[in-house]
Amino acid sequence: MDTTVDLDTFSSLVERPDESARRAADERWQEAGRPRGGLGKLEELGSWLSSVQGRSPVRPVSAPKVLLFAADHGVAALGVSRLPAQGGTAARVRAVLDGSAPVARLAARYGADLRVVDVAVDSDPADFPDEVVAHRIRRGSGRIDIEDALTPEETVRAFRAGMAVADEEADSGTDLVLLGDIGVGSTTVAAVLVGALCGTDAAAVCGRGSGIDDRVWMVKCATIRDSLRRARPVLGDQLALLGATGGADFAAITGFLLQAAVRRLPVVLDGVVSSACALVAQRIAFRAPEWWRAGQSSGEPAQAKAYDRLTLTPLQDQGITVGEGVGAVLALPLLQAAGDALAEEAPRPFVPTAPKEQPKLPSAADLLRRL
């Protein structure tokens, strides 16, 4: 597939988090006179924050952002979800924007800003504020069991849109992204991507999503099976895979995750959609998962397989299946606590043995100019 995005660039640009800062954070716990492991997972999270920030003592999380990518999917017309295929995604976006959705209330409770990026909601763009539809690619995506979700050109545009959003967040001072999605039928699409990348059959990745019964599960499983047949021939080309059996939101989230890693912006993943995109991104840049943490386990079998392949352990297991970033937001207090605890212990500041000038991190525009 001929594109203007050189995916190999990401493999060289994505570096590992700062290991010296991580070691310094580990030493601080020991020097503070506390029993090793006394704060459990908070110690590991504090060390991870130090490494992604590249400093010790760690800087407490102060500017978290809930980021939701929204899109409709053609497979929803097959009845694979309990939510309405027509207008269901748009209604959920409106609920987030007016503050009535659970994720909006939780974000306000924990002091996180909230942003919705509409990349392919099947509604009139005038229904939402300009800043929400600024990166819209199209209305809805194709029915992936019989046709491509996107054209090659749309796939590249969606991927670039995700990169641009990562730059916008990094430039605005966001220090932690809580990543989620809004879209009827999206768990079906995610299951296809995970099944294709992990080499499993449809039944092994088909979950209950929105709470479907056995009859609908069988319809969903058959849809995943047919879509997997279309996914396997393009497994060697990640952009082609996202265009054939993904969608605008999946392409955008994948681009976002990779560019966020380039910009050293840590991300907390939410449900099966973000984990499927993370799996695609890992195929492009193998070091990228070190910049992410899994917020929660939703109980979706595809998510469990993706996290196993990514070697990520969910921070919580609340069984939340609603999506919309709720599981990622619930992990925020843990990360805030880890940052606060490690920062407050601080027996002495970390001084690098060989200070080095930090390179200017390339933006999406910089990357595209090189091509």
Instruction: Give the model's pLDDT for residue 370.
Output: 57
- The owner of tokens 């499927």 is 276
- The owner of tokens 């952009």 is 239
| φ and ψ at residue 120, rounded to 5 degrees | -165, 40
- Say if pTM beats, i.e. exceeds, 0.85: yes
The stretches in the chain having pLDDT less than 50 are: 1-2, 345-350, 353, 355
What are the structure tokens assigned to 264, written together?
Answer: 């050293």
Q: How far is CA 260 from its chain centroid?
A: 10
User: Looking at 191-308, which runs of residues are DSSP E strands?
Assistant: 267-269, 292-294
> How close are the terminal C-alpha atoms of the chain, in Å?
16
Instruction: Give the model's pLDDT for residue 180.
Output: 96
Catalytic residue, from 324, 344, 345, 357: name it: 324
Cα separation, 139 vs 219, in Å, equals 24
Catalytic residue flag (residue 324): yes
Cα separation, 56 vs 352, in Å, equals 9
Cα separation, 87 vs 294, in Å, equals 30
Cα separation, 224 vs 45, in Å, equals 36
Cα separation, 183 vs 130, in Å, equals 19
